[in-house]
Amino acid sequence: MCVTALAAFAVTIIFRTSTTANFAQGAISAYGCYVVADLLNKRGIPVYLGVFAGVLVGIAIGVFIDLLVFRKGRHVNELGKQIITMGFVSLFFGGIPLVFGTPERIPFEAFYNTVKAGTSPNFVIPAFGGEIVITKHAVICLGITVVVLAVLFLLLKHSKWGLGVRATASSEFTAELMGIDTHVITAISWALACALGVLAAVMYAGGGTSISAAFMTTIQVNAFLACILGGFSTFYGPVIGAVLIPLAASCVGFLANFKGFYGISRWQMVIVYVLLLIAILIKPEGLFGKKTLKKV
């Protein structure tokens, strides 16, 4: 849920400033995650430094992509830009095995085990006559996500950079006329998005998932759907969408506890996606989106 929220925010910020859906989000995140994993496992660097380095790599990749490709490719139409990001997907999918060798592994097992060591990995809260089990990993992730997103939203709302982003998002051309350096704004957005992506990937992998070049694809698909559900026209919509989708999934899963709904957990994602489809058909601009009027 936290991972999807971060990824959804990353997708939105690029979509708003560069008018493209970044399909390479997952691949870039995976790349950063590999960097972190290598630093952790081979060099024995502490986790926090490792994540910091991974985020730096993400920033570097983001700025690199923006400077080298998107600044030059402004005349390329909207669809073309998406194809370019798709090209990056291939590039990273090919690059990751070349740079990091073995394609699949569980990188944070050691880290995960040290967190587990000594204390129980879970918090157990007695409630509703039963017990709710929450892993410490989930709590840490939730904490990081809330802090990061809170800081970002405050920056968006109150800083000069945030104003620049919002202006660029509503109209790049006008923003440029108003003296905003849109080049810098888009570069920062790319850097931010990629950094968030790396953070999300590390958090996801920290849960004990094995990583591969494509391990973020599911998260990315869900992030896209969250963006559509929440509406691209606001920054908070996608984040709420990202919370809603897993929530709906667990609600459907919860139904399986009742009689007569026993087999429903197999159909969990199908039901959630169908609900999503219906929601979009009823409100095409997203739950929090604004209607855009078209002039002829």
Partner 1 sequence: MDIRQEYLNAAYPQGEKKNLGGNIRAAFANPIAQIALVGVVLALVQFLALGGAISSAFAYALGNTLIYAIVAIGFCLLLGYSGLASLGTAGFIGLGSYVAFYLIEGMGAPYFVALLVTLAVSIAIGVIVGFISLRIEGIYLAIMTLALAEIIRSLLMVLKATIKINIKNIVLFGVNVNEKAVYLLIAATFVILMMLTSNLIRSPVGRAMLAMKDSTSASQAMGISLMKYRLLAFVISTIYAAMGGLLYMMYVRNMTTATSTLLTLSTSLNILGAVIIGGAKSLWGTTFGTFIIYGLQSMFLSKIQFFVDNPAFITMITGLLIIVVVMFFPGGFAQMLSSLRGWLRRKRVERRIRDYVDIQN
Distance between CA 125 and CA 140 in Å, rounded?
A: 16
Check binding of 251 to partner 1 (CB under 8 A). no
Distance between CA 35 and CA 141 in Å, rounded?
A: 19
> Least distance in Å: CB of 134 to partner 1?
27
Check binding of 281 to partner 1 (CB under 8 A). yes
Instruction: Kindly tell me which residue out of 1, 47, 60, 93 binds partner 1, with binding defined by CB under 8 A.
Output: 93
- Shorter beta-carbon distance to partner 1: residue 41 or 268: 268
Q: Which range, of 29-37, 88-96, 104-112, 236-244, touches partner 1 by CB under 8 A?
A: 88-96
Check binding of 104 to partner 1 (CB under 8 A). no
Check binding of 293 to partner 1 (CB under 8 A). no
Task: Give the orientation angle of helix 236-255 with respect to helix 2-18, to 10 degrees.
Answer: 150
Check binding of 23 to partner 1 (CB under 8 A). yes
Q: Which range, of 152-160, 219-227, 235-243, 254-262, touches partner 1 by CB under 8 A?
A: 219-227
- Shorter beta-carbon distance to partner 1: residue 123 or 262: 262
Distance between CA 184 and CA 66 in Å, rounded?
A: 10
Instruction: Kindly tell me which residue out of 9, 108, 224, 288 binds partner 1, with binding defined by CB under 8 A.
Output: 224
Q: Is 141 exposed, middle or buried (0-12, 13-18, 19+ CB in 10 A)?
A: buried
- Shorter beta-carbon distance to partner 1: residue 142 or 279: 279
> Least distance in Å: CB of 215 to partner 1?
13
By DSSP bridging, strand 122-127 and strand 130-135 are antiparallel
Q: In the stretch 60-79, what mask flags binding to partner 1 with x, by CB under 8 A?
A: ---------x--xx-xxxxx
- Shorter beta-carbon distance to partner 1: residue 55 or 187: 187
Instruction: Kindly tell me which residue out of 43, 46, 90, 290 binds partner 1, with binding defined by CB under 8 A.
Output: 90
Compute the C-alpha angle 171/175/179, nearest 5°.
175
Instruction: Kindly tell me which residue out of 41, 82, 209, 212 binds partner 1, with binding defined by CB under 8 A.
Output: 82
> Least distance in Å: CB of 164 to partner 1?
23
- Shorter beta-carbon distance to partner 1: residue 164 or 241: 241
Q: Is 266 exposed, middle or buried (0-12, 13-18, 19+ CB in 10 A)?
A: exposed
DSSP string over 81-96: HHHHHHHHHHHHHHHH
Q: What is the dihedral angle through the alpha carbons of 209, 212, 213, 217, rounded to the nearest 10 degrees? A: -40
- Give the binding site for partner 1 (CB under 8 A): 15, 21, 23, 69, 72-73, 75-80, 82-84, 86-98, 214, 217, 221, 224-225, 227-228, 232, 266-267, 269-270, 273-274, 276-277, 280-281, 284, 294, 296
